[in-house]
Amino acid sequence: MIDHFADRVLPLLGDLRWQIIHNDTNSSNVLVAEDDPELIAGIIDYGDMIHAPLISDVAIAAAGICQHADDPVSAICEVAKGFDGVTPLEAEEVDLIYDLVIARVASEILICTWRIANPTGPIEYLKDFVAQVWPAFDRLLAAGRETVRARLRGALKFPPFCPGPGEIDQAEADTVLEEMLERRRALLGPKLYLFYDRPLHMVRGEGVWLYDATGRAYLDAYNNVPHVGHSHPHVLRSITRQYAALCTSTRYVYGNIIDYAERLAATFTDGPRVCVFVNSGSEATDISWRMAKMHSGKSGAIIIEKAYHGGTDAIDAFSPTDRPVGEIPAHIRTIVTPDTYRGAFRGNDAAALYAADADRAIAELDAAGYGVGAVMIDSSFVNHGIIDVPAGYLKLVVDKVRAAGGVFIADEVQAGFGRMGSHMWGCQVHGVEAEIVALGKPIGNGLALGAIITTPEILASFTEKTGYFSTFGGNPVACAAGSAVLDVIEDEQLLANAMETGEYLRRGLRALAQRHPLIGDVRGIGMIAGVELVRDRATQEPAKQETKQVINAMKEKGVLVGREGGLGNVLKIRPPMVFKPDNADFLIAALDEAVAAI
Ligand code: PMP
């Protein structure tokens, strides 16, 4: 124990908060009011006061209290919670409480034992004390450092401890994971999908890195929700400062929702814009569709085949993904994916040839009596396998829909906030402004937030026929997060980074493709890259199983990528926007090894 204290605890004490501490905060030094024993009237015995880590006072008090408790761990937690309620503790301090309590109790036993052996006065009370403390000490040792740390963190609402590399052994982590998987299956249902053959238990994120429960770092090349990087300090500060001040709904006037809406609206230059705030991408596409229907007076819509736009009842019809065409509701028509790698049209005239399918869909919707109220398209085409769309295609389709009386709903849940590099919104990259823009995922860097940006006329058509209100939508904390994301995008010039690093990444991937025939195609734009794996470049036979293997192997090498496309053979690389060329190098090296091992 002394070794552990000297090696692992003492070196950390210097970095904690120090102040004058009482240094003997035991219950014998507390006075209570004569007429109310629950009321602390004073503290005595300042003779031991020293300048020391603040947390020592907590540990000393906990050490005293826990000796008399049947459940010493609960007693320690209660003392820490009480202190934290007045003077908030820090995670680093909380993590040391167990060792400091042990050190305190051990010192008491040693000092008393020494005094018993070298008496200068009565020793009976010392003997009683030692006899009483030993069992308490044994109970504390039996509880163990990890258990007490986890209980303390839980009681004080700190997230689980993130160990340094090698601090937790793999077998221990595996046992914890198995237990959690079992509870998860029982409580959340067995079908809640997890990534990887051997799922990951993540405990911390920072920038482009995620850390698992053993402290292992993984380069995150998959997650687009932490748009400006995991746990970005500016977003963190904005959220916590706002929550400390106010978090209500839009039923009250408050400045930051107006400021935030103003900033979002200013990203459009084609006329005035208004915002409706919701809580997710699905809600954003759902409200977008309701707006389009009410504005156009038509009830049919066009989507690209195998699209995904969300999970509400109405939007489920817009998300057929793998559903056969026959099972798609009649008011929805799908048009062929403008895929220049696998599709029927790959030449210079591909845009017009693919767009012509919209004529068929419009005619069908008109003939069926629905008419076309909207076309909804994910501007980045991520969910379609990160395809390279022929230039001009989107504008041709949108023009046809507009001519038939419908509007364009740009689903920017994937593409928005500069993901595609050259513009803030994906539709702008295609040279089209959308009447309705649906936002989600990256908008709040992980905080639940969604938005619809539209024209005042469309909003008027919507609100004329329905009163709309979302309890959480546009709450001050969500707006603080959204606004902080916009700050970071500007301050760290993330659009330019998406262009440069994205291009650098694809160059590296294309170089790999020259050495590995398994890589059939490398695509993407801005900070999105798709790598299509094929068994044979001539036949383009999809390498579905190999894609799974590569993804799992890359995880073992510390890199997280995903899988996309109807054939399940496209690597989805869509990292936080703060991904840098050295991260790209790391990813490419891992992919090189993973593909070589197939
Ligand atoms: N639209 C697109 C293009 C998406 O990719 C998603 C989510 N994958 C959604 C909408 C739905 O967003 P959410 O999961 O936040 O409801």
pLDDT for 168 equals 81
Question: What is the predicted pLDDT for the residue at 2?
Answer: 86
Mean pLDDT of 268-282: 95
* pLDDT exceeds cutoff 80 at 123: yes
Helix (H) or strand (E) holding 378: strand 372-378
Given pLDDT bands bounded at 50, 70 and 90, which one contains residue 407?
very high
DSSP class of residue 390 equals P
Residues forming beta bridges with residue 313, ordered by sequence position: none
Tell me whether strands 559-560 and 436-439 are parallel, antiparallel or unpaired: unpaired
DSSP symbol at 325: G
pLDDT value of position 572: 98
**Tokens linked to 347:** 């030449």
Q: Measure 261 CA to ligand 1 centroid, in angstroms.
A: 21
At residue 529, the pLDDT reads 98
CA distance 36 to 28: 17
Six-digit token pair at 481? 């997060």
Compute, in angstroms, the gap from residue 281 CA to the centroid of ligand 1.
Answer: 5
Q: Ligand 1: which of 224, 288, 413, 470 to mutate, judged by most atoms within 8 Å of the beta carbon?
A: 413
Q: What is the pLDDT of residue 279?
A: 97
448 contacts 463 by C-beta, under 8 angstroms? no
* Closest ligand 1 atom to Cα of 378: 3
Tell me how far apart the alpha carbons of residues 176 and 169 are, in angstroms, rounded to a whole number.
11
Ligand 1 centroid distance, CA of 447 (Å): 14
Residue 305 has pLDDT above 80, yes or no: yes
The C-alpha atoms of residue 420 and residue 410 are separated, in whole angstroms, by: 14
- Band (pLDDT 50/70/90 cuts) for residue 457 is very high
pLDDT of residue 1: 84
Which residue's structure tokens are 């040792």? 141
- Output the CA 76–ligand 1 centroid distance in Å: 44
Per-residue pLDDT of 59-114, as tens digits, reads: 999 999 998 888 999 999 999 999 999 999 999 999 999 999 999 999 999 999 99
pLDDT of residue 276: 98
Q: What is the pLDDT of residue 517?
A: 97
Which has the closest alpha carbon to 94: 141, 144, 155, 50?
155
- Cβ < 6 Å from ligand 1: which residues? 280-282, 285, 308-311, 378, 383, 411, 413-414, 440-441
pLDDT tens by residue, 470-493? 999 999 999 999 999 999 999 999
What pLDDT band is residue 56 in, cutting at 50, 70 and 90? very high
CB atoms within 10 A of CB 532: 26
In angstroms, rounded to a whole number, what is the distance separating the alpha carbons of residues 320 and 326? 10
Residue 531 backbone dihedrals phi, psi, to 5 degrees: -120, 110
The pLDDT confidence band at residue 308, using thresholds 50, 70 and 90, is very high
Q: Which of 194, 219, 189 is nearest to 206 (CA)?
A: 219
- 326 to 320, 322, 332, 348, 388: CA distances (angstroms): 10, 12, 11, 32, 27
Checking if the pLDDT of 357 tops 90, the result is: yes
Rounded to 5°, the CA angle 141-143-147 comes to 125
The two three-digit tokens of residue 124, written as one number: 């009976």
Q: Tell me what the pLDDT averaged over the chain comes to.
A: 96
Structure-token match 């977003």, residue found: 235
CA of 573 to the centre of ligand 1 (A): 17
Residue 367 banded pLDDT, cuts 50, 70, 90:
very high
Confidence of residue 264 (pLDDT cuts 50, 70, 90): very high
Q: Ligand 1 center to residue 572 CA distance, Å?
A: 15
Asked whether 135 and 59 are in contact (CB, 8 A), the reply is no
pLDDT, one tens digit per residue, over 558-570 is 999 999 999 999 9
- Residue of higher predicted confidence among 270 and 196: 196
Interval 25-38 mean pLDDT:
93
Summarize the confidence of residues 498-514 as an average pLDDT: 98
Q: What is the pLDDT of residue 164?
A: 84
325 pLDDT above the threshold of 80: no
Percent of the chain with pLDDT over 90: 92
Q: Is 345 helix (H, G, I), strand (E, B) or coil?
A: coil
Tell me the sheet residues that pair with 308.
none
- DSSP letter, residue 439: E
192, 285, 321, 445: residue to mutate for ligand 1 pocket, most atoms within 8 A of CB: 285
Which residue's C-alpha comes closest to atom 10 of ligand 1?
309
Cα of 172 vs centre of ligand 1, distance in Å, is 36
Gap between the Cα atoms of 598 and 596, Å rounded: 6
d(CA 424, CA 419) in angstroms, rounded, equals 8
Find the helix or strand (DSSP H, E) in which 205 lies. strand 202-206
Q: Which atom of ligand 1 is nearest to the CA of 440?
A: 15
Instruction: Give the mean model confidence (pLDDT) for residues 130-135.
Output: 92
pLDDT reported for residue 465: 85
Residues 6+ apart with CB under 8 A from 338: 304, 345, 350, 351, 354, 355, 387, 389, 390, 393
The confidence band for 467, taking pLDDT boundaries of 50, 70 and 90, is confident
**Number of C-beta neighbours around residue 472 at 10 A:** 16
Query: Would you say the pTM of this structure is higher than 0.85?
Result: yes
